[in-house]
């Protein structure tokens, strides 16, 4: 029997506790559910996580030869790109979630779900240790151990605070549905508090100052959503304080949305300036207290300034979950930020474990080696140089193969890379050739930046689909270990490696305007892209129920505006 296990991570309190205490010993008497107990003919696949990666794996798995056990502290899938809309009530929280049991119910594969967090992976004995995340009186029965034949780790990432003092205590995050609901309540709360008669003018200004740390897509989208909420709805309800509202976006780099095309960055910065959203670039947050944010102004020689605020959102990228860090040290990856996998999404150093989504990345070192190999292959005459045409073909080949490089190359940083390449002697002299050593030097310069690429739902979902397809064929392949004729001789794996297809990305900028960067470097900004955004996000919902609810919410908002009740 074969079992597939998927593990997911949630933002609930108990998970946070468990993650904060990874060393806590689990009860040795915790029951072990063996695959044989479930069905002794099937292999057990355990899936950790019900996010983009875990859910897309589950939805695409069709092979009834597996027994699937999904484990996640959250019993639903959440459509994260619409979380900023939930913060301001443009869309309701329940419209963007789908119960995982609803998804599992429609499968022909045996699926079992447990609402619990994985606390430890024991890869040697093929077991995972879990604990229910619900406060209950189960007298120790909330802990259990599950064994697996295959483990799929799809637990996403947590927020990266860079250990900045005061962030966890004072800032909001926007990762989970609960976070979005909390932000919505806090925004209204700020307006109500600022409207109290005894509050001084200065204190009102502070309370109505909304600070957003991080100028990436989430921070920018939240700033835009908040601006719309304030100007379209709240100003009518709180006329006495409307002129005191301020929104500030703090970004340590030189520009906001720096992973997008330069035209989009410029448009967003100009639009925010017109809208009165204060964009402070070169501003690095070093400490947050209950009422003030301390920033180091990188453009002013590191001068520290303080910003009084009423509500702060921290949105500066993703970090590693503690139990994943523990697992990484078990498999010799202790010095990495996320789990390294090979191109078939298997965790390096661990045979039966796969990792997909935000918690994993394809090993960069191998990528660089492969890129050099692609170059050598293109260098047919072994001269160590490529013509510009050959060079372009190499870039296309690389783009097709590697998600992280592709996003990188298609983004603004691609231009930086091309600039770097242009600085190399052969190209700058006008020669049509590029030296392999110069090419490698340029690539190594961008290597460190590539590691910091944002993790996206698009990559996570495609990895889930890819892995499900592998599992759908795994049994056939085991019966025919030589694999399809065309792959014989490569000796690496029986499936094609994972290839990412970049379908473009959106940046909603408020006022019914969206920036879209589509494949082929096609950029569209404005109202037409907003309609494209509406249609793409409607079609990407995981059920017809979600589609209907989301569209209804948008229509409701157009007719009656957003609801400002603080519930």
Residues that bind ligand FAD (CB under 6 A): 7-10, 15, 48-54, 71-74, 80-81, 83-84, 117-118, 154-156, 174-175, 218, 321, 323, 357-359, 455-458, 460
Residue with Cβ nearer ligand FAD (277 or 515): 515
* Smallest distance, ligand FAD to C-beta of residue 308, A: 26
Residue showing tokens 């689990």: 26
* Smallest distance, ligand FAD to C-beta of residue 7, A: 4
Residue 368 to residues 93, 371, 404, 451, Cα–Cα distance (Å): 42, 5, 12, 12
Which residues are CB-contacts of 516 (< 8 A; sequence separation ≥ 6)?
Answer: 504, 505, 506, 507, 523, 524, 525, 529, 532, 533
Residue with Cβ nearer ligand FAD (81 or 166): 81
How far apart CA 428 and CA 435 sit, in angstroms, is: 12
Which residues are CB-contacts of 47 (< 8 A; sequence separation ≥ 6)?
Answer: 4, 5, 6, 7, 8, 54, 57, 58, 68, 69, 70, 71, 152, 154
Residue with Cβ nearer ligand FAD (123 or 386): 123
How far apart CA 120 and CA 122 sit, in angstroms, is: 6
* Smallest distance, ligand FAD to C-beta of residue 176, A: 8
Contact status, residue 14 vs residue 127, Cβ threshold 8 Å: no
* Smallest distance, ligand FAD to C-beta of residue 12, A: 8
* Smallest distance, ligand FAD to C-beta of residue 540, A: 9
* Smallest distance, ligand FAD to C-beta of residue 80, A: 3
Residue number closest to ligand FAD, CB atom: 9
How far apart CA 148 and CA 128 sit, in angstroms, is: 8
Residue with Cβ nearer ligand FAD (219 or 442): 219
Greatest pairwise CA separation for the chain in angstroms = 81
Give the alpha-carbon dihedral of 222, 226, 232, 236, to 10 degrees: 170
State the DSSP H helix or E strand holding residue 278, giving kind and residue range, or none if neither. strand 278-281
* Smallest distance, ligand FAD to C-beta of residue 517, A: 12
Residue with Cβ nearer ligand FAD (58 or 230): 58
Residue with Cβ nearer ligand FAD (179 or 438): 179
The residue among 2, 6, 79 whose CA lies nearest residue 478 is: 2
Task: Output helix, strand, coil percentages for the chain, rounded to the nearest 5.
Answer: 45, 25, 35
Residue 292: helix, strand or coil by DSSP? strand
Residue with Cβ nearer ligand FAD (355 or 414): 355
Residue with Cβ nearer ligand FAD (241 or 550): 550
Residue with Cβ nearer ligand FAD (7 or 450): 7
How far apart CA 381 and CA 372 sit, in angstroms, is: 16
């Amino acid at each position: 029997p074969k079992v597939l296990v998927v593990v997911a991570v949630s933002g609930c309190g108990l998970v946070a506790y468990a993650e904060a205490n990874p060393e806590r010993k689990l009860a040795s008497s915790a029951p072990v559910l063996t695959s044989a107990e479930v069905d002794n003919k099937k292999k057990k696949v355990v899936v950790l996580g019900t996010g983009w990666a875990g859910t897309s794996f589950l939805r695409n798995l069709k092979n009834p030869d597996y027994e699937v056990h999904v484990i996640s502290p959250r019993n639903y899938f959440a459509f994260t790109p619409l979380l900023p809309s939930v913060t301001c009530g443009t869309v309701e929280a329940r419209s963007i979630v789908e119960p995982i049991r609803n998804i599992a119910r429609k499968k022909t594969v045996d699926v079992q779900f447990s609402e619990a967090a994985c606390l430890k992976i024991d890869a040697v004995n093929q077991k995972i240790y879990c604990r229910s995340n619900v406060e209950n009186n189960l007298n120790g029965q909330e802990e259990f151990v599950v064994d697996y034949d295959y483990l799929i780790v799809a637990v996403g990432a947590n927020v990266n605070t860079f250990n900045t003092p005061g962030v966890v205590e004072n800032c909001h995050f926007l990762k989970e549905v609960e976070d979005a609901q909390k932000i919505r309540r806090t925004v209204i709360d700020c307006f109500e508090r600022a409207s109290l008669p005894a509050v001084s003018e200065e204190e009102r200004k502070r309370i109505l100052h909304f600070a957003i740390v991080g100028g990436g897509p989430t921070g920018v989208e939240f700033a835009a959503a908040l601006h719309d909420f304030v100007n379209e709805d709240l100003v009518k309800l709180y006329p006495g304080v409307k002129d005191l509202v301020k929104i500030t976006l703090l970004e340590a780099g030189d520009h906001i949305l720096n992973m997008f095309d330069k035209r989009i960055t410029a448009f967003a910065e100009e639009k925010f300036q017109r809208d009165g959203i204060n964009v402070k670039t070169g501003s690095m947050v070093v400490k947050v207290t209950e009422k003030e944010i301390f920033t180091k102004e990188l453009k002013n020689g590191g001068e520290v300034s303080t910003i009084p605020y009423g509500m702060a959102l921290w949105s500066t990228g993703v970090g590693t979950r503690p139990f994943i860090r523990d697992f990484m040290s078990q498999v010799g990856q202790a010095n990495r930020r996320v789990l390294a996998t090979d191109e078939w999404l298997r965790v390096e150093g661990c045979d039966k474990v796969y990792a997909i989504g935000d918690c994993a990345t394809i090993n960069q070192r191998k990528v660089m080696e492969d890129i050099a190999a692609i170059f050598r292959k293109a260098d047919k005459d072994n001269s160590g140089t490529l013509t510009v045409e050959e060079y372009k073909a190499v870039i296309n080949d690389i783009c097709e193969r590697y998600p992280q490089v592709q996003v990188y190359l298609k983004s603004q940083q691609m231009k930086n890379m091309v600039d770097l390449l242009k600085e190399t002697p052969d190209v700058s002299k006008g020669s049509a050739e590029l030296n392999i050593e110069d090419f490698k030097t340029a690539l190594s310069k961008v290597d460190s930046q590539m590691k910091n690429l944002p993790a996206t739902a698009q990559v996570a979902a495609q990895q889930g689909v890819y892995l499900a397809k592998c599992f759908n064929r795994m049994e056939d392949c085991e019966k025919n270990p030589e694999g399809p004729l065309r792959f014989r001789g490569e000796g690496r794996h029986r499936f094609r490696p994972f290839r990412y297809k970049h379908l473009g990305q959106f940046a909603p900028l408020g006022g019914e305007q969206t920036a879209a960067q589509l494949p082929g470097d096609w950029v569209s900004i404005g109202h037409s892209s907003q309609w494209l955004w509406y249609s793409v996000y409607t079609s990407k919902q995981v059920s017809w129920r979600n589609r209907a609810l989301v569209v209804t919410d948008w229509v409701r908002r157009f007719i009656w505006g957003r609801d400002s009740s603080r519930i």
